[in-house]
Amino acid sequence: MSLKLGVIGTGAIGQDHIRRCMQTLSGARVSAVNDINPDSAAGAVEKYAPAARIVVDPHQLIASDEVDAVLVTSWGPSHEEFVLGAIRVGKYVFCEKPLATTAEGCRRIVEAEMKHGKRLVQVGFMRPYDTGYRALKAVLDSGRIGDPLMLHCAHRNPRVGKNYSTDMAITDTLIHELDVLRWLLNDDYVSAQVVFPRHSPKALPHLRDPQIVLLETAKGTRIDVEIFVNCQYGYDIQCEVVGELGIAKLPEPSAVLLRSQAARSEAILTDWKERFIAAYDVELQDFIGGVCEGRLRGPSSWSGYAAAVAADACVAAQGTGAVVPIKLPAQPGFYA
């Protein structure tokens, strides 16, 4: 039997997830679609899920008998409302990051889920499903490079739109590192500081780009993450772990090594959808499998909350330049 999915939000990632559910993954189909812009929903349905129904009211979609589980892929500020709506009717929900735009919003979701008594929420942090990050974690967990002492990371995009603001470098961009590095190190953050190098003339005047975020973990590991969202040359994700006994680096995506015109070169991807395409497939297949088995395994509401607590501190640190403490409450046993 095929799991019936209802999708709220048919922008870039909503359409991509509808495509993968209908064309790539198994065990599920998209049965209902909503977007605040009905023409967008109609376009997505026509392109990828012709048998799906367009539902104008997102809460009707959540409650519908035609929907077994919900995918929330609308813009961030609407996530909390839809995730809480799904929990209220006891349905599984996959929510794109951010789980909510504030740590308080994530906390409300955590509390609602715990009150329900069973995990219903998976957050769309896909990097723990990426084969490169998994290989890196296997090396760290093996002890081959000893304890991690320092991490040097970079998150670079070729360019961003005019609505992208300085705080979005944290809440939209760094949020992926905040989740995956916590998972990679099996550690929590205790402080954050943000420093700004010389402004890139390729960035619009209102946007402070690039920025460097400095994090410290409870075990004393120091992390620097360069965020550079107008780097021009590509979508480039870097992560190097310096341990007591050696260095482990996130593998580059595979690319043909080209010898041509007196140069040796490898293409660099420019589109985030391509960089993590396999990880998105595996994360959503895992969600579908988890729903069918009645046991979700992917990033939880607590992961969404932990990332949001750290993000709030980083945004505060952007404003002051000071070291800002990060205080994450102890993880409830419910999420162990």
Interface with ligand NAP (CB under 6 A): 8-14, 34-37, 40, 58, 73-76, 78, 96-97, 124, 126, 172, 272
Question: Concatenated DSSP letters for 5-31?
Answer: EEEE--SHHHHHHHHHHHHT-SSEEEE
**CA angle (175 as vertex; 204, 200 as ends), nearest 5:** 25
Q: Which residues contact 159 (CB under 8 A, 6 or more apart)?
A: 202, 229, 230, 232
Backbone angles phi, psi at 78, to 5 degrees: -95, -5
> Which residue, 248 or 287, is less far from ligand NAP as judged by CB?
287
Report, in Å, the least distance between residue 10 CB and ligand NAP: 5
* Cβ-closest position to ligand NAP: 11
Give the C-alpha separation, 33 to 30, whole Å: 8
Nearer to ligand NAP, 73 or 157 (CB): 73
Q: How far is the CB of 85 from ligand NAP (least distance, A)?
A: 11
* Closer residue to ligand NAP, CB minimum distance, 76 or 304: 76
Is the CB of residue 159 less than 8 Å from the CB of residue 202?
yes
DSSP per-residue codes, 201-231 = TTS-TTS--SEEEEEEETT--EEEEEEETT-
For residue 247, list its beta bridge partners. Answer: 242
Nearest to ligand NAP of 117, 161 (CB atom): 161
Q: How far is the CB of 308 from ligand NAP (least distance, A)?
A: 13
Nearest distance in Å: CB 181, ligand NAP: 15
> Of 306 and 324, which CB lies nearer to ligand NAP in the complex structure?
306
State in angstroms the smallest separation of the CB of 314 from ligand NAP.
16
Supply 281's token pair.
């497939």
**How far apart are CB 289 and ligand NAP at their closest, in Å?**
19
Name the region of 333 (left: φ>0; alpha: ψ -120 to 50; beta: rest).
alpha
Nearer to ligand NAP, 11 or 234 (CB): 11
Q: Which is nearer to ligand NAP, 36 or 323 (CB)?
A: 36
Min separation Cβ 93 and ligand NAP, Å: 14
Q: In angstroms, how far is CA 157 from the centroid of its own chain?
A: 15
Q: What is the CA radius of gyration of the chain?
A: 20
For 272-296, letters b (16+ CB in 10 Å) and e give eeebbbebbbbbbbbbbbbbbeeeb
Other CB atoms within a 10 A radius of the CB of residue 319 amount to 11
On whether the CB atoms of residues 62 and 98 are closer than 8 A, the answer is no
CB 41 → ligand NAP: shortest distance, Å?
8
Question: Which of 113, 177 has the CB closer to ligand NAP?
Answer: 177
CA–CA gap between residue 212 and residue 178 (Å, rounded):
13
Residue 145 or 277: the one with the smaller Cβ distance to ligand NAP is 277
Q: Residues 285, 293: contact at Cβ < 8 Å? A: no
Smallest distance from ligand NAP to CB 157, Å: 11
DSSP run (H or E) holding 223 = strand 222-228
